[in-house]
């Protein structure tokens, strides 16, 4: 039985009960049969063993429904009902076992007093009490596993909601800036330029909305998305914005969070390109180092104040959003560091685990 079928069987509590019930009493019969081999007993004793096991199988079935009814009772009441039910069931089972032994093995033996039919009931009571203990133990284990699954599912849903929120925060932020630029172009009657920006914007948003924020994308796909964004900005900045890509071949199919570069590029344009009359350049470098993927986005702008590898020069989301997304996707296995670019500017360095699409 493969893992999928076994998991389905365990989750189906009714089928799982009947499997354990049958396997348990079969094991009881087998142990008693092996024990009988140590004694000089006639072969007919095998029939008695399996009749006794079958009687135990039948008598413990009603206990299941009794225990279901008392499941929500107070602990003391549950203990009382379990002990009482186990004792009554053990006595009845022992009567049947004695009848089987006397009628079959001793050829119709009859005791002198009817109370002798309950002889050795204590041992049967212990066995039924053990069955009850196993029943409650397995039920509590299943309940704990179910609660654990619910907690994991709740955490997963919350984790996914957080990632989606962080990812979708980027579009309104970027959209506001782009629409503001388009509005400015229209006011100065640069309608052709504004129209080109609208066309590029629609392509970028279509691409962005088509990508599931819960899934990672290849570096090639992420670079395509970044190129669409930069094409929008190039309409506004024209020759003032220069972009250089340095991507190693073995990194093109590596996986990265979708839209992880766009907010970094947006910051570079806002604080490095836009503030310089002659514009500037943005360089994106992606390479592999051992089991890590190294991503760098550098500009040659005027630079900024950097403290302990952190930079919080923007009022919006930017680096904070990117760091939170990386923390959610790669807990304790990533880094995002801001440093001075040489000779001028700011460089954002990201380290991620190197993953391929087929892994």
Under the banding of pLDDT at 50, 70 and 90, the label for residue 160 is: low
Q: Taking residues 309-325, report their average pLDDT.
A: 65
Q: What is the pLDDT of residue 293?
A: 95
Q: Taking residues 337-352, report their average pLDDT.
A: 90
Contacts of 246 (CB under 8 A, 6+ apart): 283, 284, 285, 286, 287
Q: What is the pLDDT of residue 193?
A: 80
Contact 68, 81 (CB under 8 A): no
Please determine, for residue 307, whether its predicted confidence score (pLDDT) is greater than 70: no
Please determine, for residue 272, whether its predicted confidence score (pLDDT) is greater than 60: yes
Please determine, for residue 292, whether its predicted confidence score (pLDDT) is greater than 90: yes
SS (H, E, C) 1-27: CCHHHHHHHHHCHHHHHHHHHHHHHHH
Tokens of 6: 């076994």
**Nearest Cα to Cα of residue 163 among 349, 333, 330:** 330
Contact 216, 255 (CB under 8 A): yes
**Nearest Cα to Cα of residue 128 among 65, 86, 91:** 86
Q: What is the pLDDT of residue 33?
A: 84
Name the residue with tokens 């063993």: 49
Under the banding of pLDDT at 50, 70 and 90, the label for residue 316 is: very low
Q: What is the pLDDT of residue 162?
A: 53
Range name among 102-111, 157-166, 268-277 with the lowest pLDDT average: 157-166
SS (H, E, C) the chain: CCHHHHHHHHHCHHHHHHHHHHHHHHHHHHHHHHHHCCCCCCCCHHHHHHHHHHHHHHHHHHHHHHHHHCCCCCHHHHHHHHHHHHHHHHHHHHHHHHHHHHHHHCCCCCCCCHHHHHCCHHHHHHHHHHHHHHHHHHHHHHHHHHHHHHHHHHHHHHHHHHHHHHHHHHHHHHHHHHHHHHHHHHHCCCHHHHHHHHHHHHHHHHHHHHCCCCCEEEHHHHHHHHHHHHHHHHHHHHHHEEEEEEECHHHCCEEEECCCCHHHHHHHHHHHHCCCCCCEEEEEEEEEECCEEEEEEEECCCCCCCECCECCCCCCCHHHHHHHHHHHHCCCCCEEEEEECCCCCEEEEEEEECCECCC
Contacts of 155 (CB under 8 A, 6+ apart): none
Q: What is the pLDDT of residue 159?
A: 55
Omega before residue 343 within 30° of 0, cis: yes
Q: What is the pLDDT of residue 211?
A: 65
Stronger pLDDT, 121 or 162, i.e. the higher one: 121
Contact 300, 336 (CB under 8 A): no
Whole-prediction pTM: 0.55
pLDDT tens digits for range 24-63: 999 988 888 888 777 766 777 888 888 999 999 999 999 9
Q: What is the spatial distance between Cα 56 and Cα 193, in angstroms, rounded to a whole number?
A: 87
Stronger pLDDT, 324 or 300, i.e. the higher one: 300
Q: What is the spatial distance between Cα 124 and Cα 137, in angstroms, rounded to a whole number?
A: 20
Tokens of 209: 């909305």
Q: Taking residues 315-322, report their average pLDDT.
A: 66
Please determine, for residue 347, whether its predicted confidence score (pLDDT) is greater than 70: yes
Please determine, for residue 322, whether its predicted confidence score (pLDDT) is greater than 60: yes
The burial of 281, by beta-carbon neighbours within 10 Å (0-12 exposed, 13-18 middle, 19 or more buried), is given as middle
pLDDT tens digits for range 192-244: 888 888 887 887 777 776 666 567 889 998 898 888 888 888 877 888 899 99
Q: What is the pLDDT of residue 8?
A: 56
Q: What is the mean pLDDT of the chain?
A: 81
Q: Taking residues 276-280, report their average pLDDT.
A: 86
Q: What is the spatial distance between Cα 175 and Cα 118, in angstroms, rounded to a whole number?
A: 84
Under the banding of pLDDT at 50, 70 and 90, the label for residue 2 is: low
Q: What is the pLDDT of residue 359?
A: 55
Q: Taking residues 306-311, report their average pLDDT.
A: 63
């Amino acid at each position: 039985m493969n893992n999928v079928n076994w998991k389905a069987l365990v989750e189906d509590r009714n089928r799982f009960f009947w499997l354990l019930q049958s396997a348990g009493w079969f094991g009881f019969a087998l142990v008693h049969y092996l024990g009988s081999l140590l004694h000089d007993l006639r072969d007919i004793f095998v029939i008695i063993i399996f009749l006794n096991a079958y009687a135990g199988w039948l008598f413990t079935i009603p206990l299941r429904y009794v225990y279901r009814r008392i499941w929500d009772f107070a602990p003391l009441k549950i203990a009382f009902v379990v002990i009482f039910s186990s004792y009554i069931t053990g006595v009845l089972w022992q009567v049947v076992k004695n009848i089987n032994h006397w009628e079959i093995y001793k050829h119709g033996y009859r005791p002198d007093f009817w109370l002798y039919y309950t002889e050795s009931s204590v041992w049967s009571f212990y066995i039924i009490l053990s069955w009850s203990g196993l029943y409650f133990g397995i039920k509590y284990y299943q309940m704990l596993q179910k609660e654990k699954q619910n907690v994991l599912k709740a955490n997963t849903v919350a984790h996914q909601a957080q990632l989606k929120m962080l990812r979708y925060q980027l579009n309104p932020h970027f959209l506001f800036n782009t629409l503001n630029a388009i509005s400015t172009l229209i006011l100065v009657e640069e309608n052709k330029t504004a129209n080109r920006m609208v066309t590029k914007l629609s392509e970028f948003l279509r691409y962005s909305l088509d990508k599931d924020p819960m899934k990672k994308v290849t570096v090639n796909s992420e670079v395509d998305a970044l190129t669409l964004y930069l094409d929008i900005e190039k309409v506004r900045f024209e020759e003032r914005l220069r972009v250089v890509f340095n991507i190693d071949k073995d990194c093109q199919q590596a996986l990265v969070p979708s839209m992880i570069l766009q907010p970094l590029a947006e910051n570079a344009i806002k604080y490095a390109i836009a503030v310089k009359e002659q514009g500037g350049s943005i360089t994106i470098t992606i390479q592999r180092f051992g089991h890590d993927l190294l991503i760098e986005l550098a500009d040659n702008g005027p630079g900024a104040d950097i403290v302990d590898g952190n930079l919080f020069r923007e009022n919006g989301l930017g680096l904070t959003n990117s760091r939170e997304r990386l923390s959610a996707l790669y807990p304790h296995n990533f880094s995002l560091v801001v440093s001075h670019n040489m000779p001028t500017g700011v460089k954002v360095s990201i380290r991620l685990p190197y993953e391929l699409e087929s892994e």
